[in-house]
Amino acid sequence: MKIKREACPGKEEAAFKPYDGKQETEEKNKAGDAAACKKMAEKTSKIVRKGTLIKKTVTYTFDGGAALTASNTSPCK
């Protein structure tokens, strides 16, 4: 899974700090099937730290298939 985060204006440092200052990161996860992979990507795309991120997009593939995306948005405070 490739995860791209978009920070709220002026919140870049706080938004990317947990990821070594990187806007984009990559995680390798194992899923039993395509549905489990999709569910994992949707869960990963949820914005937990509201007020720092405006958008989070996860691009994922299962077993070498086509790249799919899951994303979530949140208003900046």
Rounded Cα distance between 5 and 16, Å, is 8
Q: Give the side-chain half-sphere CA count within 13 A for 69.
A: 7
Given this model, what pLDDT does residue 56 score?
98
Tokens of 48: 């937990």
Phi, psi of 60, deg, nearest 5:
-140, 155
Beta bridge partners of 2: 26, 59
pLDDT value at residue 68: 94
For the chain (length 77 residues), average pLDDT per consecutive 10? 97 95 94 92 94 97 92 94
Predicted TM-score (pTM) of this structure: 0.89
